[in-house]
Structure 1
Amino acid sequence: MDSVHHDANPLFTAVSGPVRHLFQLLRCIAFATKAQVRITPEGIRFTVEESRVVQGVAFLEKSLFTSYNYAPPTSSQTDDTAVFQISLAALLETLQILLVNEIKDRWASRDPAYGGMMGALGRGGRPAAFGNRVLGMPGVCRLSYAAKGEPLCVVLEEGGVTTSCEMVTYEPEDQEEIPFQRDALTLKIIMRSTWLHDAVNELSSTSPSRLTMAASPSAPYLVLSSKGPLGSAAVEFSKDQQLLETFQVPKRTVNTYKYSLIKAATRAMSLASKVCIRGDEQGVLSLQFMIEVEDVGVHFIDFRFVPFLPEEGEDDLESDDEMS
């Protein structure tokens, strides 16, 4: 284990509340191994993308942390001081070290019988050596970033035991957001996220490569469909306000996306309480997931998808006739 770099005046330091909050939010965008990180006075922005056709953004607001301090240099050239790339897979694996014990103690506090194996009691009914309930100390995760080019330091403290990790930071890429025309929306739909999750999973039965979304001001109002080597499938949503909380579709619109990319957002779909589905005139799809974080408040995970554009002469998998 490498020794952790210490700086008298680090650029950034923070102490997390429950580690599961950080882990769950970051895992929602873990469809690629690396993430671009931007530290700001308001929180930490993690951006993941694949082939510039899908982007996922998780913004960890400072309210997720019990303490949060960002002190950039006073120099005028500091725009990229706290921007870097990191292995998201490695960060999640590190957080999981503390998360495992955190989950064990949560179960033990709810069910004393469960503590016989996973909580304050070890195997055979003996007290677990490092159980939080025995030591009376919750696990803590400390993050720090000393300066540009330095590693991101993650220190896990639990019951007097400290695990320190230095995570290599890489030069940031010239990463541009997938353009989304908020002033030229073709649809805006708000619904329970679990219903979108169930629909996307249902369509997987055909082993599809593409997913088509059709929205119309008249019935059928919203249809997700797919076609693959095992057949075709479609899920239709009615305009019932209990189903679609918001439904703004001025005219019929049909766009197709790579199914595997939409599937990459299913962790966020399953965790969120609501999703806002928006599309613009270019066909770019925006999925904004509202996630209620226990004892903290509401946080958002954003995805953007570039539509599939068939090459000239290529037949699309879905036709308008099938969706009418």
Structure 2
Amino acid sequence: FFFLMSQSSTASGLADYPGSTSSQDDNIDLVFMCAMEKVQSIASILAAINIVKDKKVPTICTVTITKKGIKFTVEESHSLQANVFFQEELFKQFNLEGPSIQFRIYLSVFLDCLNIFGNQPSNPTSLQMLYKGYGNPLILTLTEDKNTNMLTDVTINTMESQGLINFNFRGCPIHNKVIMQSHCLKEAFDELDWSSTFVNFVLSPDEPFFRLQTAGNLGSCQVDYPKDSDEVFESFECSQTQSNFYKLSVIQPTVKALAVASKTQVRVNQRGVLSMQHMVTDTKQMSTCFIDFFILPSEDGDSDEEMLE
């Protein structure tokens, strides 16, 4: 079983943060501790990178903690990497012993814990997270509301980190970069034929400028945006024409993240590696975070390319 849970209706203080059942002696061996008041905001963002291919196989996530904040990374089929970074300033308390720590957890289990009291903003849940170092579990204390004194302690097993894929995106020249409204990009993807295997991504200084296109047995579908559309693009910087194919099954998580984003930066390097960075702004907490995706181009798009011609 992935986690252990206990509930209590009373709470004692830890480092002047309400809702913790740990004693001061227990904190002596802590490697990391953080606390925040409204966990629903990070739960909705992390849900965007919860890549579920099989409900029987939970998503494994690598957690990297540094002095600057916490990064959650999910990889899929050696072709996609998704990163969410929460800056240290987002947390009410943030204490780390040493330069950095890294471990793996089941993301779906972590999300279930964060949403244990529901995910409605009207019912805020506070969080305290503790970690004692290599081989130890991640301990969460979630408090439903400051007035109810209802809290839950959850222990999540951690796994040793196995390293992450280095896409070396900046190691190649980046010829094309655009910043666009996320809802416009989502509308473009929604128009595509998702029964197709691949999507053709075209960026160019000349027509068609920005194109998404799919092709299947029933025909082809394409969406074009002109570069001078102020409603779509905040900036459009393209110096050469690039046309690459990506598997729709791999690119699908990036589309899921568009639902919580306001702006998206799309970049393609010389090797055809696609970078999509979604900006997510929480106006109530006056905070901004980013969801980054790196996607490798497919070398099997030749058949689709013939259909598009």
TM-score range, shorter chain: 0.7 to 0.9
Kindly name which structure, 1 or 2, has the bigger radius of gyration based on alpha carbons: 1
Structure 1 residue 144 corresponds to structure 2 residue 163: no
CA distance in 2, matches of 1:55, 1:94: 24
Q: 1:25 to 1:197 in 2, by over 3 A?
A: same
Return the match for 1:298 from 268, 288, 291.
288
Q: For the Cα contact (< 8 Å) 1:14–1:66, is it kept in 2?
A: yes
Instruction: Please state how far the C-alpha of 1:318 moved relative to its aligned partner.
Output: 2.2
Q: For the Cα contact (< 8 Å) 1:27–1:267, is it kept in 2?
A: no
Q: For the Cα contact (< 8 Å) 1:181–1:281, is it kept in 2?
A: no
Return the match for 1:220 from 202, 208, 217.
208
Deviation string, structure 1 residues 106-164 (Cα, Å, up to 9, x no partner): xxxxxxxxxxxxxxxxxxxxxxxxxxxxxxxx532111111111111111122212211
The residue number in structure 1 matching 2:272 is 283
Instruction: Please state how far the C-alpha of 1:315 moved relative to its aligned partner.
Output: 3.5
Instruction: Please state how far the C-alpha of 1:230 moved relative to its aligned partner.
Output: 3.3
Q: For the Cα contact (< 8 Å) 1:52–1:178, is it kept in 2?
A: no
Segment drifting more, 193-202 vs 174-183: 174-183
Percent identity, aligned pairs only, is 31
Structure 1 residue 316 corresponds to structure 2 residue 303: yes
Once the two structures are superposed, the pairs formed by residues 66-81 of structure 1 within 5 Å of their partners are: 66-72=92-98
Q: For the Cα contact (< 8 Å) 1:226–1:318, is it kept in 2?
A: no
The residue number in structure 2 matching 1:127 is none
CA distance in 1, matches of 2:176, 2:213: 17
Q: For the Cα contact (< 8 Å) 1:12–1:146, is it kept in 2?
A: yes
The residue number in structure 2 matching 1:187 is 176
Q: The residue matched to 2:117 in structure 1 has which SS?
A: helix
The residue number in structure 2 matching 1:175 is 164
The residue number in structure 1 matching 2:108 is 89
Q: CA RMSD in A?
A: 2.1
Instruction: Please state how far the C-alpha of 1:228 moved relative to its aligned partner.
Output: 2.0
Read off the aligned partner of 2:290 and give its amino acid letter.
Answer: F
Deviation string, structure 1 residues 42-67 (Cα, Å, up to 9, x no partner): 11111100121000000111122111
Instruction: Please state how far the C-alpha of 1:319 moved relative to its aligned partner.
Output: 4.5
Return the match for 1:23 from 43, 49, 60.
43
Structure 1 residue 155 corresponds to structure 2 residue 118: no
More strand by share: 2
Deviation string, structure 1 residues 12-54 (Cα, Å, up to 9, x no partner): 1111131111101211211150100111111111110012100
Q: 1:230 to 1:201 in 2, by over 3 A?
A: same
Read off the aligned partner of 2:200 and give its amino acid letter.
Answer: T
Once the two structures are superposed, the pairs formed by residues 32-181 of structure 1 within 5 Å of their partners are: 33-72=59-98, 82-100=101-119, 102-105=120-123, 139-158=125-144, 159-181=148-170
Q: 1:296 to 1:62 in 2, by over 3 A?
A: farther
Read off the aligned partner of 1:235 and give its amino acid letter.
Answer: V
Structure 1 residue 233 corresponds to structure 2 residue 213: no
- Unaligned runs of 5+ residues in structure 2 are 7-20, 53-58
More helix by share: 1
Q: 1:218 to 1:239 in 2, by over 3 A?
A: same
Instruction: Please state how far the C-alpha of 1:176 moved relative to its aligned partner.
Output: 2.4
The residue number in structure 1 matching 2:17 is none
Q: Scaled by the length of structure 1, what TM-score is found?
A: 0.80
Instruction: Please state how far the C-alpha of 1:241 moved relative to its aligned partner.
Output: 4.3
Q: 1:241 to 1:183 in 2, by over 3 A?
A: farther
The residue number in structure 1 matching 2:11 is none
The residue number in structure 1 matching 2:12 is none
Read off the aligned partner of 2:117 and give its amino acid letter.
Answer: L
Q: For the Cα contact (< 8 Å) 1:19–1:99, is it kept in 2?
A: no
CA distance in 1, matches of 2:304, 2:162: 35
Q: For the Cα contact (< 8 Å) 1:210–1:317, is it kept in 2?
A: yes
Instruction: Please state how far the C-alpha of 1:99 moved relative to its aligned partner.
Output: 3.6
